[in-house]
Structure 1
Amino acid sequence: MTAISPALHLVDFDNVSPATLQDQVRSAIDAANAFLDTMPALDSLPADRQISAEQALADVMSFDHINLALDRSWGILSHLNSVMSNDDIRQVHHELLPKLSAYGTRVGQHQPLFGRYQAIKNDTAFFAALEPARARAIELALRSFELSGVALPKEEQAAFADIQSKLSTLSATFSDHILDATQAYALPLSQAQLAGLTDSGLALLADAGEQYKTRELARGTLSQADVDALPTPYYVASLNIPVYLAIMTHADDRDLRETLYRAYVTRASEFDTHTNAKGESLNNADIMSQILQLREQKAKLLGFDNYAEVSLSTKMADSVTEVEDFLRNLATQATPAAQQDLAQLQTCAQDYGIDELQPWDSAYIAEKVKQSKFSLSQEEIRPYFPLPKVISGLFAIVERLYGIKVQEHSESVSRWHDDVRFYQLFDADDTLLGGFYFDLFARSGKRGGAWMSGFQSRYRHEATEHQQLPVCFMVGNFTPALDGKPSLLTHDEVLTLFHEFGHGLHHLLTQVTVGDVAGVNGVEWDAVELPSQFMENWAWDSEGIALISSHVDTDEPLPTDKLDALLAVKNFQSGMQTLRQIEFALFDLLIHAHTPALDYEGILATLDAVRRDVALMHTPDYNRFANGFSHIFAGGYAAGYYSYKWAELLSADAFSKFEEDGIFNPITGKAFRETILSVGGSFPAKTNFENFRGRSASIDALLRHSGFVATQGMQNTDTTHSTREGI
């Protein structure tokens, strides 16, 4: 077995602690600040001591190298706060946020450092001779300085720093409230309420019941005698996604579905009575309005009209109007299909005694339609997607596409949880490319959702002969292994795994060694989803499905009738799903484009207005989806949630090249790797896409893949849009 390369610089998770990481973060910040303290401003140097562009670049690269220690220690702490959160980790994480924010603001406003970047760019001959990745990193850094307030007067710089610090703390608290509210909810169920649930769903509820007993015993709310008196299995509903979806999709008890729906969509709102460990309310309402107010203040300081303009200044899209037009035009295309989707659900609902379809009915009825129209049940195909088979098939697919090979080394490395797996990625010539971790199962203390964290970038520092290969964490919240069998995935979970692995390949296959533009770094936010959404296509193709499926007990391949049904159901409810994504994206865009900044009532009113414009199904008045919208209030998607649909256009058009050439065509795979995956952010996303496709992107493939028929008007609009904006 191949040894673990020291170039991976893997973390010894067995010997990290919040206190140690806290010391490391502080030491790293102190070391970086000390370097900045000794860096003289260029205008303070005498004429005979002016530094060259070459020396300016050496200073910049030295500073980048010093920051590796901070990137590493803070990256580990942030990761653990997401996947193994507890009071100790959370306290240290939050205590460090103001210090980290202050440091980041200082760097962004540091005139001597800024001057060195300017010196590099202003020496036109020197700049023109730089490798493209380095030149791109310099350009992006200069833009970042401007967006960090480097040109502001001292007083306004101080105000900017205060805003940044407050925003970092508020976003972390927002995320805490969602996690705490999700984990605080538990609803023991009666036998009657279990009707309709599948065996896998019952196993999840029983597992949640065991966790409930353990938790309540530790809290002292139940005695050991109380616990012993409870039945085994003891079924408990929770708001963790696998449990929630099992009930919403299969529970016959409509009242139970509504109860759980209400609990889920009111998390961290004024309707949520739960508190955190300190007895504090989990209501995110005030936090949301504060975040919007601070973002607006930041935008005004930087000379923008609103925060949406700040966000778009670093993206492919040029303006709020352009994004809004894109979303509303797409809504126009999706609405006829969505109306058919809704009518289909309403017709079926009548058969189950539901006169008026409600949001808590949609997943349940959709599953009934799948079973009756397509003879397909997620539960029937789940045994055909055991996680080990899906993973081995996924690796086989990327080996055929890109010539790369994966080896597992889980037992050779330290991991943060026993469920975590570790792999090394090799090129066709056995060159080590990087390493990655899978942490795929839902558990207590873990943030919901799925994500790829580009923990460590490919990087080389010639002066110290330091080299590091890319390492990333790929995280999910899938159904865990139960009843002695491996985790059995729904096809939706398969798609999620492929999606995150697409992000992972973008990070791991880069050949760029300038960290700021290696892998996903430096890629415009509205293009960064291109490789992830692109990867999903192989989980929808019959050849791809053959590689990732076999029955958990018999190893039989997915039967032809089930394969045909699965492929037939690809665009099932795609109209409704598209409108849902557009609803979220428009809401996000409009609340960040509004001035003055909206208060909580204004936020809710905007969401209601967007729903009236694009949604087809009535949403209950108590729905507080926005209070749990972590992507925009606690993540990086503020005024950028539209990126999912924008990048989907790019990914659909990119995949259409494989549809033309053959989905496993190695030449096309090599071209995609070299023009998209390998170059990271070293060129603009528009350039990378056109280098692969040979032209600007077209919306035609997106409409076709979604099952929509393009109107001539939309096609004409998009042709102009594509030519002008280059998406």
Structure 2
Amino acid sequence: MPNPLLEMNGLPPFHAIRPEHVEPAIDTVLAENRAAIAHLLQQGAFCWDTLLAPLEALDDRLSRTWSPVSHLNAVMNSDELRAAYNACLPKLSAYATELGQNEDLYRALQSVRDGAEYERLSIAQRKHLDNLLRDFRLSGVTLPPEQKARFKAASEELSQATARFEEHLLDATNGWHVLITDAQRLAGIPASSQAMMRQAARREGQDGWRIGLDFPSYFAVMTHADDRALREELYTAYSTRASDQGPQAGRWDNGPVMERILALRHELAQLLGFASHAEHSLATKMAETPQQVLGFLRDLATRSLTMAQGELEEIAAYAREQHGQAELAVWDINYYAEKLRRHKYDLSQEDLKPWFSADRVVAGMFEVVQRLFGLDIREVTGVQTWHEDVRFYDIFDSAGSLRGRFYLDLYARPKKRGGAWMDECIRARRLPDGTRQTPVAYLTCNFTPPLDGKPALLSHDEVQTLFHEFGHGLHHMLTRIEVAGVAGISGVAWDAVELPSQFLEHWCWQRAALDLFARHHETGEPLPQELFDKMWAARNFQAGMQMVRQLEFALFDFRLYLEYDPQQGGRIQQILDEVRAEVAVVRPPHYNRFQHGFAHIFSGGYSAGYYSYKWAEVLASDAFARFEEEGVFNRATGLAFMEAILEQGGAREPMELFVEFRGREPSIDALLRHSGMAG
């Protein structure tokens, strides 16, 4: 039987891929890669063309085989696919560790580094080789045999544990719902959200409104539902997902999984000679020491805590004086904050939605990057996708060259992982025949889908999310680097990788940009100036509370990995409580288990790196400040950003690239000004 995963020349044949194809394909590619590497190492002398170029080709084939599988597991999850995916994780982990601990390969690469050819290599080739040698050391290549074996076993177990964390969270999110049959209980919830809930009920053959823990449903209830008991019920279910508390207590409990992940990451770090996983994590980041990270986060906390406390007191006073709500519970905060926003600015998040139909926002976003970078983005039909909602596009530059391609999957649905992300489908590289492999991206969001023949309408927050992910996509697709290991987002320090994404969000606030797409979905009229003025006035509404919430997450993450002690275990709740006492203004109830759903740091790539969001926000705000000075659609400035940041990938150090664009090192002033904290 032919295996589509082994016959891919172009884009993944999603219609043909079945769970039973996955394990045989991975087994085949891993076996062929092992044989090819053994053959490569039989050469006497090594150079780029005889060693690094063939290694890149082997890595590319494995990446292209696994990428559609990993992606389908996230966006079209099923029991059969999950089983196939999980069966491959230990095999992939074992291969990666085995490769990283191959002393013959390490010595061969070191011989290229030490040889005369090194100086003749391009900047990107040298950076890739230096990164490879660093990563070999971080894979334990210099460890004695017994420790190598332990490193390999722990790495395999870690890959399985992080997958289990993600599965527990997905199952817990899908595993709870409430069916509402009394329409009065939905008072306050926008009609569009109610329609989505009714559609969810119909899909299950039920009469009424089905509310689950997918983010669009949860957000609609917490922000708008007048029924306080319903808000509490949803808050309790959402904040206890995958934990030992709440309505699903113990069913998919991530508690033991988190402890195991912490223990394994600590052990791996110590095997490599680091004191903690936090120090291990910084080996590939811009920040140099744990003290630098903690100092950065605590400095921001000092600047924002008083503002955040004042904002919470303002909500409490408003709820008490205007609505007779004597005590604020956590499930009241978003609800009364939204009412306060309307009271202060005569503006609700719902008020803006009619001006942000999804199709128009997408087209407007393309127009924004056309004006900034000279890009032409065209939809391509007839491409195989995994769901009927998914669309596919090509990106051409001003010279008419194809620069990248991407899939766009905008809407929430069952069996799809929550959140929004960009991932690599195909990476840019120079092929043996001299042509360039065009990079391809997956762009995934979880917005409320179109209902009853009406277009999908986005909140302004969702518009920013879309721009954010597209910024990541541009970083991946516009790269001029042709060495895969440092092309696009590959090889970019993790605390700099959010720069392009957060940078692009700024255009969601610019009148000149909004005029390209903010039009009423029924009348076509542009966003009224009065509404824009209200939106701008409300821009930093609760910016202090948002800041300290992110700092809470970042400090918790970093301290969790920095202070891990095998004798005491993770002390997860204790550290979270201490961080909240230091920087939080909202204190959740005792049963809240936020950490059990904190996928970024347990199953994503952000362990001891969540601070990166704020770190990169400093870079993004300061980069955008140059556009404020020179014009938000100044093409010369846009091209300068594209050339210095988007096209260079990980071929040079991020600080060097930032200075090339900005003319100096980053300053925190723009972030404070954009957050309403200047002075």
- Corresponding position: 1:66 with 2:58: yes
* Deviation at residue 347 of structure 1 after TM alignment: 1.6
- 1:458 corresponds to which of 410, 418, 428: 428
Instruction: Give the stretch that moved more between structures: 16-25 or 664-673.
Output: 16-25
Q: Which residue of 1 aligns with 2:20?
A: 19
* Deviation at residue 595 of structure 1 after TM alignment: 3.5
* Deviation at residue 630 of structure 1 after TM alignment: 0.3
- 1:321 corresponds to which of 280, 291, 308: 291
Q: Which residue of 2 aligns with 1:586?
A: 555
- Paired residue secondary structure (1:268): coil
> For the residues of structure 1 that align with 2:28 and 2:204, how far apart are their CA atoms?
40
- Paired residue secondary structure (2:677): coil
* Deviation at residue 8 of structure 1 after TM alignment: 8.8
User: Does the CA contact (< 8 Å) of 2:67 and 2:424 recur in 1?
Assistant: no
Q: Which residue of 1 aligns with 2:3?
A: none
> For the residues of structure 1 that align with 2:345 and 2:569, how far apart are their CA atoms?
43
> For the residues of structure 2 that align with 1:57 and 1:115, how far apart are their CA atoms?
16
Q: How many residues align?
A: 671
- 1:263 corresponds to which of 207, 216, 237: 237
User: Does the CA contact (< 8 Å) of 2:403 and 2:438 recur in 1?
Assistant: yes
* Deviation at residue 355 of structure 1 after TM alignment: 1.4
> For the residues of structure 1 that align with 2:22 and 2:89, how far apart are their CA atoms?
13
Q: Which residue of 1 aligns with 2:633?
A: 664
User: Does the CA contact (< 8 Å) of 2:262 and 2:570 recur in 1?
Assistant: no
Letter in 1 for 2:143: L
- Corresponding position: 1:502 with 2:451: no
* Deviation at residue 359 of structure 1 after TM alignment: 1.7
Alignment deviations for residues 439-487 of structure 1 (CA, whole Å, 9 cap, x no partner): 010000000000000221111133x556410000000000100121111
Letter in 2 for 1:340: G
- Corresponding position: 1:407 with 2:378: yes
* Deviation at residue 365 of structure 1 after TM alignment: 1.0
- Paired residue secondary structure (1:412): coil
User: Does the CA contact (< 8 Å) of 1:458 and 1:514 recur in 2?
Assistant: yes
> For the residues of structure 2 that align with 1:349 and 1:336, how far apart are their CA atoms?
20
Flag the 1:498–1:310 CA change in 2: closer, same or farther, 3 A: same
Q: Which residue of 1 aligns with 2:38?
A: 37
> For the residues of structure 1 that align with 2:8 and 2:478, how far apart are their CA atoms?
15
Letter in 2 for 1:267: R
Q: Which residue of 2 aligns with 1:676?
A: 645
- 1:392 corresponds to which of 363, 367, 370: 363
Q: Which residue of 1 aligns with 2:332?
A: 361
Alignment deviations for residues 232-272 of structure 1 (CA, whole Å, 9 cap, x no partner): xx112110000110100100011111110010010000025
> For the residues of structure 2 that align with 1:58 and 1:577, how far apart are their CA atoms?
52
Q: Which residue of 2 aligns with 1:195?
A: 187
- Corresponding position: 1:692 with 2:661: yes
Letter in 1 for 2:382: S
Instruction: Give the stretch that moved more between structures: 185-194 or 700-709.
Output: 185-194
Q: Which residue of 2 aligns with 1:94?
A: 86
Letter in 2 for 1:27: T
Alignment deviations for residues 504-543 of structure 1 (CA, whole Å, 9 cap, x no partner): 1101110111000000000000000000000000001111
> For the residues of structure 2 that align with 1:157 and 1:589, how far apart are their CA atoms?
27
Flag the 1:600–1:557 CA change in 2: closer, same or farther, 3 A: farther
- Corresponding position: 1:309 with 2:289: no
Alignment deviations for residues 395-437 of structure 1 (CA, whole Å, 9 cap, x no partner): 000000000100001x321110000000000011211111001
> For the residues of structure 2 that align with 1:175 and 1:29, how far apart are their CA atoms?
25
* Deviation at residue 544 of structure 1 after TM alignment: 1.1
- Paired residue secondary structure (1:474): strand
Q: Which residue of 2 aligns with 1:295?
A: 265
Letter in 2 for 1:474: L
Q: Which residue of 1 aligns with 2:586?
A: 617
User: Does the CA contact (< 8 Å) of 1:529 and 1:648 recur in 2?
Assistant: yes
Letter in 1 for 2:155: Q
User: Does the CA contact (< 8 Å) of 1:534 and 1:655 recur in 2?
Assistant: yes
- Corresponding position: 1:250 with 2:224: yes
- 1:183 corresponds to which of 150, 171, 174: 174
Letter in 1 for 2:402: L
- TM score, norm. by length of structure 2: 0.97
Q: Which residue of 1 aligns with 2:77?
A: 85
* Deviation at residue 303 of structure 1 after TM alignment: 0.3
Letter in 2 for 1:402: F
> For the residues of structure 2 that align with 1:171 and 1:626, how far apart are their CA atoms?
14
- Structure 1 portions without partners, runs of 5+: 1-5, 42-48, 214-226, 711-727
Flag the 1:403–1:8 CA change in 2: closer, same or farther, 3 A: farther
Q: Which residue of 1 aligns with 2:124?
A: 133
Give the alignment of 1:211-222 within 5 angstroms: 211-213=203-205
- Paired residue secondary structure (2:516): helix
> For the residues of structure 1 that align with 2:319 and 2:640, how far apart are their CA atoms?
48
> For the residues of structure 1 that align with 2:400 and 2:377, how far apart are their CA atoms?
10
User: Does the CA contact (< 8 Å) of 2:263 and 2:569 recur in 1?
Assistant: no
Letter in 2 for 1:555: G
Q: Which residue of 2 aligns with 1:145?
A: 136
> For the residues of structure 2 that align with 1:498 and 1:403, how far apart are their CA atoms?
17
Letter in 1 for 2:319: A
User: Does the CA contact (< 8 Å) of 2:269 and 2:280 recur in 1?
Assistant: yes
User: Does the CA contact (< 8 Å) of 2:40 and 2:50 recur in 1?
Assistant: no
User: Does the CA contact (< 8 Å) of 2:269 and 2:276 recur in 1?
Assistant: yes
> For the residues of structure 1 that align with 2:257 and 2:671, how far apart are their CA atoms?
37
> For the residues of structure 2 that align with 1:493 and 1:647, how far apart are their CA atoms?
20
- Corresponding position: 1:472 with 2:447: no
Letter in 1 for 2:327: E
User: Does the CA contact (< 8 Å) of 1:8 and 1:434 recur in 2?
Assistant: no
Q: Which residue of 1 aligns with 2:410?
A: 440
User: Does the CA contact (< 8 Å) of 2:237 and 2:247 recur in 1?
Assistant: no
> For the residues of structure 1 that align with 2:226 and 2:153, how far apart are their CA atoms?
52
Alignment deviations for residues 356-388 of structure 1 (CA, whole Å, 9 cap, x no partner): 222211111111111111111111210110011
- Paired residue secondary structure (1:524): coil
* Deviation at residue 601 of structure 1 after TM alignment: 7.0
- Paired residue secondary structure (2:278): helix
Percent identity, aligned pairs only? 44
Give the alignment of 1:480-559 within 5 angstroms: 480-559=449-528
* Deviation at residue 584 of structure 1 after TM alignment: 0.3
Alignment deviations for residues 581-635 of structure 1 (CA, whole Å, 9 cap, x no partner): 0000000000100141486771001000000000112211111000000001001
> For the residues of structure 1 that align with 2:555 and 2:285, how far apart are their CA atoms?
16
Q: Which residue of 2 aligns with 1:51?
A: 45
> For the residues of structure 2 that align with 1:454 and 1:286, how far apart are their CA atoms?
31
> For the residues of structure 2 that align with 1:8 and 1:497, how far apart are their CA atoms?
30
> For the residues of structure 1 that align with 2:258 and 2:569, how far apart are their CA atoms?
7
Instruction: Give the stretch that moved more between structures: 652-661 or 364-373.
Output: 364-373
Flag the 1:303–1:651 CA change in 2: closer, same or farther, 3 A: same
User: Does the CA contact (< 8 Å) of 2:179 and 2:210 recur in 1?
Assistant: yes
- Corresponding position: 1:377 with 2:369: no
> For the residues of structure 2 that align with 1:645 and 1:266, how far apart are their CA atoms?
26
Letter in 2 for 1:265: S
Flag the 1:174–1:598 CA change in 2: closer, same or farther, 3 A: farther
> For the residues of structure 2 that align with 1:478 and 1:273, how far apart are their CA atoms?
26
User: Does the CA contact (< 8 Å) of 1:403 and 1:427 recur in 2?
Assistant: yes
* Deviation at residue 38 of structure 1 after TM alignment: 3.0
User: Does the CA contact (< 8 Å) of 2:168 and 2:253 recur in 1?
Assistant: yes
- Corresponding position: 1:646 with 2:637: no
Letter in 1 for 2:346: S
Instruction: Give the stretch that moved more between structures: 24-33 or 607-616.
Output: 24-33
